[in-house]
Each structure stands twice: as structure tokens, then as C-alpha cells.
């Protein structure tokens, strides 16, 4: 099955129940593997990040990056934005971890090469990063799927911190009005966030409360924020 917005729910179910087989390791600061999921007689490529392979960080609780990846996919699905590929938290050959559908893409493409021709999709990712408090949106985390050209965002382990952490290369839309359809989606999901069983399992109460505050502030402002003065607003490396 091809990765596409209309197949998110079905692919998510397959991710959760299919047999997981590791193929090889992918370059990353944390343990990250290319794997395959076999379900219903078909197999597709996935990325597997076991919890025990996460590098400790001073500002994020140990062992929570895979939870945040799954929470980002859940938020993307609730909003209907198709920003994050289908992702689940499940057991694997190296223990529990994040499993996400692999996006077949051209590795020479990234945010800086795609922004002008995919501005609407990049604006959506920018808004998503504001509410998810993404601390590491590099250009190489924006992928264009080969088969249909859809723009996906990956690597959401550094999200949902209670303190402001937004670091991104997507500042081209700073100060621009928030599109009406994005504002409408945020208003629709805002009341049910703390009652969503998936988010409640993945995030702490304080993190959910902070998510609500960020949504409220973005809606009240009605436009995407500018970088905070005196902060490190851009990740490194850029790509």
C-alpha cells in the first residue's frame, strides 16, 4: 500500500499488528533502523526507533522521544493535516519503540529546495511545529514522497516540551496570517485534547496543558510567530 493521506488510518492499523523485521541501521544520533512490516500478505518499509537506543538529553526526560514521535503523529491525524507519516508505539525486536511508515523520497530534496513550489504544505508544517513545540525542524526533515509529491515531516522526538523550545528552519512564514482552514482545525481539536486516549497515554498532563496554551496563543495571535529575540531559533545543522 502506498503512503498517502487517505491511507493513514489503515496504515496505522497495519503498523500496530504486522510482523516487524529489522533490515539495517540508518544514520542518526539515536538508534534508528530501516525495517519492514508484513501484514495481510503485503510488506512495506518502516523506520524503527527502539526506546533503549535513545541518547540521553539534558532537557527531555529519558526514554520519551519515541512517545513524542507517536504523539506528533496522533496530533497530525486529529488535525487532519497529514504532516506526520503513520506512526505507532509498539514492541519490536529490540524492545518497545516508535515505528513509522518510511517515506520514499529523493534525499537531495529538502525544505530549502521545496519551499517555493510547496509553500502551502510548508506553512502547514510551520503551524504544526508551533503548536507541537518542535525543537529540531531541520530542512532534511521535510520530505517529498516520490509517488504522489505529498510533503511529510519526520523526526518529531524533540516535541511537546512544557518550556518554549521552537527551533526550525521554517521562518519564511513568520508574521504571516494563519490560514483560516488551519485555524478551524485547531479550534476543532482543542476541546478534546486532554480526553484523547492516545495523547493521554503518550504525554504528561503538564505537556498536554502546554499544548493547549500554544494552540490558544496561536489562535489569539492569528498569525505565525517571529523568532523570540535572544533564543537559538534555528537548529544545527540546518539540513
Q: What is the pLDDT of residues 60-96, one digit of tens each?
A: 999 999 999 999 999 999 999 999 999 999 999 999 9
- The pTM for the full model equals 0.96
Residue 14 domain flag? yes
Q: Which helix (H) or strand (E) holds 46?
A: strand 42-50
Taking phi over 0 as left and psi of -120 to 50 as alpha, with beta for the rest, 134 belongs to: beta
Residue 42 binned pLDDT confidence (cut-offs 50, 70, 90): confident
Q: Provide the domain limits for residue 136.
A: 5-221
pLDDT higher than threshold 70 for residue 158: yes
Q: Is residue 172 part of a domain?
A: yes
How many structural domains are present in the chain? 1
Q: What is the CATH number of the domain that holds 128?
A: 1.10.510
Is 227 part of a structural domain of the chain? no
Residue 233, in any domain of the structure: no
Q: Is pLDDT at 40 greater than 80 in this prediction?
A: no
Is the predicted pLDDT of residue 132 greater than 80, yes or no? yes
Q: Could you tell me if residue 141 is inside a domain?
A: yes
Instruction: Compute the mean pLDDT over every residue in the chain, rounded to the nearest whole number.
Output: 95
The reply to whether 236 falls in a domain is no
Show the cell assigned to 5: 493521506
Establish if 226 belongs to a structural domain. no
Residue 234 resides in a domain = no
pLDDT of residue 220: 98
Q: Looking at residues 207-228, what average pLDDT do you find? A: 97
Task: Average the pLDDT over 140-147 and give the result.
Answer: 97
pLDDT grade, residue 2 (50/70/90)?
confident
- Reduced to 3 states, what is the DSSP secondary structure of residue 87? strand
Amino acid at each position: 500500500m502506498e503512503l498517502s493521506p487517505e491511507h493513514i488510518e489503515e496504515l496505522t492499523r497495519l503498523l500496530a499488528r504486522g510482523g516487524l523485521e529489522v533490515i539495517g541501521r540508518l544514520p542518526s544520533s539515536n538508534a534508528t533502523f530501516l525495517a519492514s512490516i508484513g501484514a495481510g500478505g503485503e510488506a512495506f518499509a518502516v523506520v524503527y526507533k527502539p526506546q533503549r537506543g535513545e541518547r540521553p538529553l539534558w532537557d527531555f526526560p529519558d526514554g520519551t522521544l519515541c512517545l513524542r514521535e507517536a504523539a506528533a503523529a496522533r496530533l497530525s491525524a486529529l488535525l487532519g493535516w497529514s504532516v506526520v507519516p503513520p506512526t505507532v508505539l509498539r514492541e519490536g525486536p529490540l524492545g518497545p519503540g516508535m515505528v513509522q511508515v518510511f517515506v520514499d523520497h529523493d534525499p537531495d530534496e529538502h525544505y530549502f529546495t521545496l519551499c517555493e513550489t510547496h509553500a502551502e504544505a510548508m506553512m502547514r508544517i510551520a503551524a504544526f511545529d508551533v503548536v507541537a513545540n518542535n525543537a529540531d525542524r531541520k530542512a532534511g526533515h521535510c520530505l517529498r514522497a516520490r509517488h504522489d509529491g505529498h510533503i511529510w515531516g519526520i523526526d518529531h522526538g524533540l516535541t511537546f516540551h512544557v518550556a518554549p523550545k521552537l527551533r526550525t528552519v521554517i521562518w519564511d512564514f513568520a508574521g504571516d496570517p494563519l490560514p483560516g482552514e488551519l485555524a478551524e482545525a485547531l479550534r476543532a481539536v482543542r476541546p478534546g485534547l486532554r480526553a484523547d486516549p492516545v495523547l493521554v497515554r503518550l504525554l504528561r498532563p503538564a505537556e498536554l496543558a502546554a499544548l493547549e496554551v500554544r494552540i490558544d496563543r496561536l489562535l489569539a495571535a492569528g498569525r505565525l510567530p517571529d523568532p523570540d529575540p535572544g533564543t537559538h531559533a534555528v537548529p544545527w545543522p540546518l539540513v
